[in-house]
Each structure stands twice: as structure tokens, then as C-alpha cells.
Amino acid sequence: MEAGDWVPTSWRSKEAAQSVKYPDEAHLAKVLDKVKALPPLVTPSEIERLRHQLSLVQKNEAFLLHAGDCAESFAACTQENISAKVGLILSFSLILTWGARLPVVRIGRIAGQYAKPRSSATEKIGDRDVMIFRGDNVNGFNPDERTPDPERLLSAYFHSTATLNHIRGLLTSGFASLHHPRDWSLLHVRSPSLRDEYEAISQGLSDALDFTRTIGLAAGRETQSYERGGGRGVLGEADLYTSHEGLLLDYEEAMTRFYPIPDSTISRELQVGTPAPKKYYNTSAHFLWVGDRTRQLDGAHIEYFRGIRNPIGIKVGPSMAADELVRLLDIVNPEHDNGRVTLITRYGINKIATHLPVHIKAVQESGHPVIWVCDPMHGNTLTSSTGLKTRHFGTIISELTSCLRIHSECGSRLGGVSLEFTGELNEEGYSVTECLGGSMELSEEQLGLRYQSFCDPRLNFEQSLDVAFLVSNYFNNQRRGNSHRKGNTDVLYSELGGNTASASAAAA
């Protein structure tokens, strides 16, 4: 089917991997009619703005941070959790901007990241075989609620709406202001030399913020709080875009709307006087990605993704052949639009060196414009001795630093990172304990203390800032030409356990 013949239902003639079978199809149809009638969550203007910002990432003029939960849950949709997540995304991007001196485009895995693809269809709980948990918009985590219920799609719409409303409220009320960044106390950092490095970086950053405020004061700006009519702070106009895996195509189709491209975009792209062309926008999120398990060239997901105007991500794992990757790009981006495709690579520490250089070369030769992003999480999952799914911090940063190095060796550039992290705290103010290691040196015995993820293990607040300091420091050294400090000789890298024997063994 040619691009012009595409409609939001086109995917229905193809096979959808990881599809969900509902016991009552009529009930599903009724819910989808309701979703179709509900207002969009995001607008074409916002989607176009993100496309533009991603085109800057592609030109090395910005860096992309894609991060958030593996699976959001309805129960975690609270003021505290949402603020903690947004706060972490803002802190992370501030640290990165400091080191790289580049604006950071922030895309949260938030306000709709519910559906999960799984390795097995069922699991054994006690002596029962039950359907696996597929995310809060499909079935319940409670073993007695595993039958897919279409009402959950509606509930997902409203939880996404509540989440997004709170994010918009936070960002337009000075939450991103530099006047109150979240406290980055370094008490959790065990190693003295690592703490010294962190202190040097955060001191430099806080001096820069003080200077910015002083300049603002001298210029007569920033004297008033936001509530008294002042600006929102240097980060006050912060954009935070939403994203999720476009897995449940019934829902994505229902949220796909036919709208004219906003005027300002047309004037850049078309002759004046031409009627505004209409495009299909997925209005459930600004950015959608297709997962590593659902990216078959002739499958339903790629058929759906090729027709939407949103910028899209494609997960690229070790099972992707180089020519398959290029054919995939031909399908989803035949016009070679800038900012349209982000390739999110997730090979695992033991496989990245075999696959990434081959993929980079194939894409370079094809002439396709892409943004390369490293997801150092999904190829590095393991089961701890206590049976909990976990990831070792050392393995995560090993894949990330290998990725940075390989891109630079191949004449390419890493444009961003994709992380599963959360800033959420329990009632006593402690972070989750899902990934091992990091500057807090989280041990296997501690994993069970506050393990809250319903799917994959996330970096907690402290471990996420470790990654932010590490990447920021890498770019800072690169900017200054301190090549001797790159890679393995970097104190941050060695202290944080990169390339350790235990980390490699864990990922084997």
C-alpha cells in the first residue's frame, strides 16, 4: 500500500505480534468508540515542535534524554510520584547541559507508558498457570485479575490525562525554576574519590547557577517569584514531551486524528497559498516507539507507525540484520525527513561491539538521517540470586561508554540516552532498590528492601544522577580536549564499576 492510501486501520490486515485477546470483542469495540470521542492529549503543534527539536539533536545541536518507568501503574499516579519523576528528568538534564553545553530535549516515558510486551504469555504462580501481567491498561498485577479487561484502556486514557495535567501544571508554575533544584546531597556516595569528583562537578554547576541568577538580578529580571508575576526561571520554559511504546494498536488507532499541519510548519515547508495538508497525528503522546519484539517489516506495528506524523523511535537489538534495518527505515521514512526517526539501540554489553558498528555503517551508506540513542538497560537484565529481575550498574555504564566510543570510532555521534529510572521515594524518603551497584553500592541483599517495579528494574534517584554525572563529565572532557580522561581512565567510570569482571559476568 502506498503512503497516500494509509489509514489508521491499515494495520488490521497484518499480523500483530504481542497482541491481546479480549474475551468480549463487543465490549472492546464500545470502549474504543468512547476513546475515539475523547479529546486529544497532545496537539499537532507540540508534535511538530518536538520533530523540530529532534532535527536539532540529529545535527548535534542538542542531546536527547528519553527516560522514565518501564511500566507506569495506575496506583503510582500520585502528585508525589509524578513530581519526583519530573524532578529527576529536570535534574538529569541540567547536569548534562552543564557538561555538554548543549540543550537537552526531554522525553519522558510517562503519561501513557502502561502496555508491556513480554517474553512469555503465561507464568506459574503457586500451582496456577496464569496469563502474564501485560501492563495496567491490559490486565491486573494481582494474579486474580489477569484476564484482559477493555475498561482498562479507558482508565489508561484518564490516568494519562491526570499525569499530563499535573506535568503541565508543574512546568507552568515554576517547578523547573533554577531557584529550587532538588537537593543533590552526596551522602550516599561511598567512595571518597568519587565524592570528590562529584563535589567538583556540582560546585561548578552551582557556581554557574548563582552567576546566572546574579546576572538576572542585575538585568532587572528574575527579581519576583513566579506567583508575584516574575518569570519561571531559566528552565521555566522547559519542555517535557511524553512517550510510550505503541504496542496496543486498537488504542493507538483510536487516538489517531486527521489534522492540518500547523501554519507555522507549512510556511517552512510549502509555498504560501497552498492549502494546509492534513496528516494523521497520534494524539496520545508526542513520541511513540516500536519495541524490539514488534518491529517485523511486514507486521502490523510497522504498518501503523509508517503512517503517523509523530517522530518515532525504533528499538534495535542484536536480532536486527543490517539490511533489515535499512529496509525498515525505507518504510517508515521514505522522504528522509530530519527528526523523524530515532534508533534506540539495546544490545547488551556482550553484543554491542559485534552489532553497533555494522548497523552504523549500513545506515551511513543508506543516507538515512537518524538519531542514535543508547538504551543500556534492556540488553543487560539478569535474575539475581533472590529471583528478582535486576541490572548491574557497572554493566549499564559499560554499554553506555562502549556506545559512545564506537560511535566516535565510526565517525558517528551518540545523540541521546534512553533509561528506565524513577525518582520516586517511599514514605520514609528512601529510593527504590531495583538495580545493583552505583555510587551507593547497592547489594543483592538490599534488592528486596524497596523493589517496586512491576516489570523491569529501574535506576533510582541516586543511580540516575551517577549516570548523569558520568555522561556530563564525558562531554565536558571531550569539549576541553582532555582525551586522556576519556573511557577507562576516567575516575567516575572506574569508581562506578564500569567494565568490572563482575559486571561482564552478570550480563553473560
Ligand X SMILES: C=C(OP(=O)(O)O)C(=O)O
Sorted by sequence, the CB contacts under 8 Å of residue 45 that are 6+ apart come out as: 262, 264
Stretch near ligand E4P under the rule CB under 6 A, chosen from 77-85, 113-121, 270-278, 458-466: 113-121
Among 35, 56, 64, 70, binds Mn ion (CB under 5 A): 70
Q: Closer to Mn ion at the Cβ: 222 or 456?
A: 456
The answer on whether 286 is annotated among ligand-binding residues is no
Give least dist CB 72 to ligand X, A: 11
Burial of 261 (0-12, 13-18, 19+ CB in 10 A): buried
Q: Closer to ligand X at the Cβ: 114 or 475?
A: 114
If binding means CB under 6 A, how many residues of this protein chain bind ligand E4P? Answer: 8
Stretch near Mn ion under the rule CB under 5 A, chosen from 94-102, 184-192, 363-371, 450-458: 450-458
Give least dist CB 245 to ligand E4P, A: 8
Residue tagged 490486565 (cell numbers):
139
Give least dist CB 455 to ligand E4P, A: 5
Beta carbons within 10 angstroms of residue 273's beta carbon: 5
The answer on whether 346 is annotated among ligand-binding residues is yes
Q: Closer to Mn ion at the Cβ: 362 or 419?
A: 419
Q: Closer to ligand E4P at the Cβ: 243 or 439?
A: 243
The interface partner of residue 96, options being ligand E4P, Mn ion, ligand X, none and the CB cut-off 5 to 8 Å by kind, is: none
Give the sign of the dihedral formed by CA 457, CA 458, CA 464, CA 470: positive
The interface partner of residue 119, options being Mn ion, ligand X, ligand E4P, none and the CB cut-off 5 to 8 Å by kind, is: ligand E4P
CB contact at 8 A, 10 and 303 = yes
Cell of 486: 576519556
**C-alpha to C-alpha distance for 11 and 9, rounded to whole angstroms:** 5
**Beta partners for 281?**
257
The interface partner of residue 49, options being ligand E4P, Mn ion, ligand X, none and the CB cut-off 5 to 8 Å by kind, is: none
Backbone φ/ψ region at 52: left (φ over 0), alpha (ψ -120 to 50), beta: alpha
Q: How far is CA 191 from CA 104, 436, 439, 470, in A?
A: 29, 16, 7, 15
Residue tagged 570528590 (cell numbers):
196
Give least dist CB 70 to ligand E4P, A: 5
Is residue 300 close enough to count as binding ligand E4P by CB under 6 A?
no
The answer on whether 375 is annotated among ligand-binding residues is no
Is residue 456 close enough to count as binding Mn ion by CB under 5 A?
yes
Is residue 118 close enough to count as binding ligand E4P by CB under 6 A?
yes
218-221-227 Cα angle (round to 5): 140
Give least dist CB 99 to Mn ion, A: 26
Stretch near Mn ion under the rule CB under 5 A, chosen from 62-70, 225-233, 331-339, 364-372: 62-70
Residue tagged 491490559 (cell numbers):
138
CA 498 to chain centre: 22
Q: Closer to ligand X at the Cβ: 87 or 376?
A: 376
Q: How far is CA 426 from CA 159, 167, 213, 436, 498, in A?
A: 21, 20, 33, 18, 29
The interface partner of residue 355, options being ligand X, ligand E4P, Mn ion, none and the CB cut-off 5 to 8 Å by kind, is: none
Q: Closer to ligand X at the Cβ: 234 or 388?
A: 388
Q: Pattern of binders to ligand E4P over 448-477, x per CB under 6 A?
A: -------xx---------------------
SS3 of 377-429: the string is: CCCCCEECCCCCEECEHHHHHHHHHHHHHHHHHCCCCCCEEEEEECCCECCCC
Among 117, 143, 216, 318, binds ligand E4P (CB under 6 A): 117
Q: Closer to ligand X at the Cβ: 51 or 378?
A: 378
Helix 79-100 to helix 192-218 angle (10° resolution) is 90
Beta carbons within 10 angstroms of residue 267's beta carbon: 10
Is residue 110 close enough to count as binding ligand E4P by CB under 6 A?
no
Is residue 119 close enough to count as binding ligand E4P by CB under 6 A?
yes
Q: Closer to Mn ion at the Cβ: 265 or 460?
A: 460
The interface partner of residue 315, options being ligand X, ligand E4P, Mn ion, none and the CB cut-off 5 to 8 Å by kind, is: ligand X
Q: Closer to ligand X at the Cβ: 197 or 245?
A: 245
Which of positions 363-392 make contact with ligand E4P (CB under 6 A)?
A: 378
Give least dist CB 78 to Mn ion, A: 21
**C-alpha to C-alpha distance for 345 and 347, rounded to whole angstroms:** 6
Is residue 70 close enough to count as binding ligand E4P by CB under 6 A?
yes
Is residue 69 close enough to count as binding Mn ion by CB under 5 A?
no
Sorted by sequence, the CB contacts under 8 Å of residue 508 that are 6+ apart come out as: 350
Q: What are phi and psi of 404, to 5 degrees?
A: -60, -45
**C-alpha to C-alpha distance for 370 and 316, rounded to whole angstroms:** 13
The answer on whether 315 is annotated among ligand-binding residues is yes
* Closest CA relative to residue 355, chosen from 317, 407, 323, 327: 317
The answer on whether 70 is annotated among ligand-binding residues is yes
Q: Closer to ligand E4P at the Cβ: 73 or 477?
A: 73
Q: For binding to ligand X (CB under 6 A), which residues are involved? A: 70, 117, 245, 291-293, 315, 346, 378
Is residue 72 close enough to count as binding Mn ion by CB under 5 A?
no
Q: How far is CA 160 from CA 70, 100, 110, 136, 377, in A?
A: 15, 32, 8, 12, 24
Q: Where do contacts with Mn ion occur on this chain (CB under 5 A)? A: 70, 456
Annotated binding site for Mn(2+): 70, 378, 420, 456
Q: Where do contacts with ligand E4P occur on this chain (CB under 6 A)? A: 70, 116-119, 378, 455-456
Annotated binding site: 70, 109, 315, 346, 378, 420, 456
